[in-house]
């Protein structure tokens, strides 16, 4: 444990987290305003963008309406359990709905800014690659910062007002409910629209890919936003919340207090990672790299390095500070390693993707077999690295160390999710 009094530690940690949430929200708002103020273009490009925007909004309205029915049913069950079951609390129904509503809000906000940024990115590219990158990445950063702001902010509100682990679990469960439907539902729609557009356009009619004369192309672009922005945002929101809540619960179990250093450390790590992610975002926006991928990688590496250093300062003075810090360190590094592995197996610059393309020369069957083989092989590095970190973290700090590694891996989510959300915006801008 830390050497200074519990009250001082609690106040300092919670103040840091609250300040990080406030700053992240302000930066997200400023970036959103910068995207909105960018030139929108004119004529046909604006018309197509409006089709995509209306389609994405219509999909989310229908999806959220159905999710709301499920969420209300679960809330009723939690409320009844809180009245009838010993140890449960009726307040859990409210925190469940609170977590679900914040998750849905994060997804909707990301979808809105993404559908506004696509046409502005296309217009900005007339001024050069860097201008287009700034608009597209700024919209992605809005999504990334909105997710971490609402997630950590929601956890702080529940923690400070109710001060009960069961309510934190219900909050996390609410986030999971939205992610379950948004990620899977949006993903299925995305792939169905993508395949349908290719079949109709290239196979039956013979028009180029992503040609707006094909109505299914609009549905495909809608799918990019509802699946790869809103759905992915809800998914990672849930992962972020669950990692922090589980680590807080384990820290409380170890120390016997929700105000102990072990209980508050996951929140502090998340807050420090949030600040580092903001710095990483501005690194990306400030660099004038010829390759967008290099600029975004620089932002992620900067955020990771800063988080490693400031986390070391945060854990000093705790009883097992080295084990806690190394657990967070390994979580951060394994996230980088998985990113490298994913890029190697999916980028056209490297051998695996080129081998799949070459196998298509002899027919669809060999292409499918080659693709499946590469896909299976691509899981080796992530599986082994996560397993290794799990074992090492457990050796250093027990189950709590595993939870800290998970928090560390997701601590820079603000900038990594910005990269992920950048993709659909750039894809829509391309046509």
pLDDT digits (tens, 9 = 90+) for 294-314: 889 999 999 999 999 999 988
pLDDT digits (tens, 9 = 90+) for 30-49: 999 999 998 887 777 888 88
Q: Give CA angle at 108 (107, 113), nearest 5°.
A: 100
Q: CB atoms < 10 A from the CB of 403, how many?
A: 25
Cα separation of 422 and 265, whole Å?
A: 31
Cα dihedral across residues 382, 383, 384, 390: positive or negative: positive
Cα separation of 413 and 307, whole Å?
A: 12
Predicted local distance difference test score (pLDDT) of residue 76: 94
**Where does residue 128 rank: exposed (0-12), middle (13-18), buried (19+ CB within 10 A)?**
exposed
Q: Do 163 and 53 contact (CB within 8 A), yes or no? A: no
Q: At which residue do the structure tokens 């092989």 appear?
A: 377
Cα separation of 419 and 141, whole Å?
A: 8
Q: Tell me the domain boundaries of the chain.
A: 6-305+411-430
Nearest to 237 by CA among 302, 298, 155: 155
The stretches in the chain having pLDDT less than 50 are 1-4, 6
Cα separation of 254 and 411, whole Å?
A: 22
Residue 210 falls in which region: left (phi positive, over 0), alpha (psi -120 to 50) or beta: left
Cα separation of 404 and 248, whole Å?
A: 9
Predicted local distance difference test score (pLDDT) of residue 148: 95
Predicted local distance difference test score (pLDDT) of residue 206: 64
Nearest to 408 by CA among 215, 235, 214, 276: 276
């Amino acid at each position: 444990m830390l050497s200074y009094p519990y009250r001082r530690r609690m106040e300092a940690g919670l103040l840091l987290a609250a300040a990080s949430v406030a700053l992240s929200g302000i930066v997200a708002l400023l970036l959103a305003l910068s995207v909105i103020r960018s030139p929108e273009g004119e004529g046909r490009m604006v018309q197509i963008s409006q089709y995509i925007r209306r389609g994405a909004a219509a999909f989310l309205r229908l999806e959220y309406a159905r999710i709301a029915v499920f969420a209300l049913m679960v809330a009723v069950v939690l409320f009844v359990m809180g009245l009838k079951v010993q140890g449960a609390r009726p307040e859990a129904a409210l925190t469940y709905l609170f977590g679900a509503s914040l998750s849905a809000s994060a997804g909707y906000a990301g979808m809105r800014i993404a559908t506004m940024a696509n046409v502005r990115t296309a217009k900005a590219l007339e001024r050069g690659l860097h201008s287009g990158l700034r608009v597209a990445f700024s919209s992605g950063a809005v999504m990334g910062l909105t997710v971490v702001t609402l997630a950590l902010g929601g956890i702080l509100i529940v923690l400070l007002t109710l001060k009960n682990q069961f309510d934190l679990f219900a909050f996390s469960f609410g986030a999971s409910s939205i992610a379950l439907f948004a990620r899977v539902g949006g993903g299925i729609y995305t792939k169905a629209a993508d395949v349908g557009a290719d079949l109709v356009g290239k196979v039956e009619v013979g028009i180029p890919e992503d040609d707006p004369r094909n109505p299914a192309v609009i549905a495909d672009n809608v799918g990019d936003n509802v699946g790869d922005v809103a759905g992915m945002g809800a998914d990672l929101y849930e992962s972020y919340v669950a990692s922090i809540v589980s680590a807080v619960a384990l820290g409380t179990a170890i120390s016997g207090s929700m105000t102990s250093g072990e209980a508050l450390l996951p929140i502090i790590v998340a807050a420090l990672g949030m600040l580092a992610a903001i710095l990483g975002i501005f690194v990306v926006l400030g660099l004038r790299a010829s390759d967008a991928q290099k600029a975004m990688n620089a932002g992620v590496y900067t955020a990771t390095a800063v988080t490693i250093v400031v986390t070391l300062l945060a854990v000093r003075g705790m009883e097992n500070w080295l084990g806690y810090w190394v657990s967070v360190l390994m979580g951060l590094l394994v996230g980088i390693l998985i990113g490298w592995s994913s890029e190697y197996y999916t980028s056209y610059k490297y051998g695996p993707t080129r081998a799949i393309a070459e196998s298509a020369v002899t027919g669809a069957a060999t292409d499918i077999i080659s693709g499946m083989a590469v896909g299976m092989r691509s899981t080796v590095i992530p599986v082994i690295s996560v397993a290794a970190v799990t074992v090492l973290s457990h050796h250093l700090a027990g189950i709590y160390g595993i939870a800290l590694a998970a928090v560390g891996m997701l601590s820079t989510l603000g900038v990594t999710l910005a990269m992920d959300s950048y993709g659909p915006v750039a894809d829509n801008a391309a046509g």
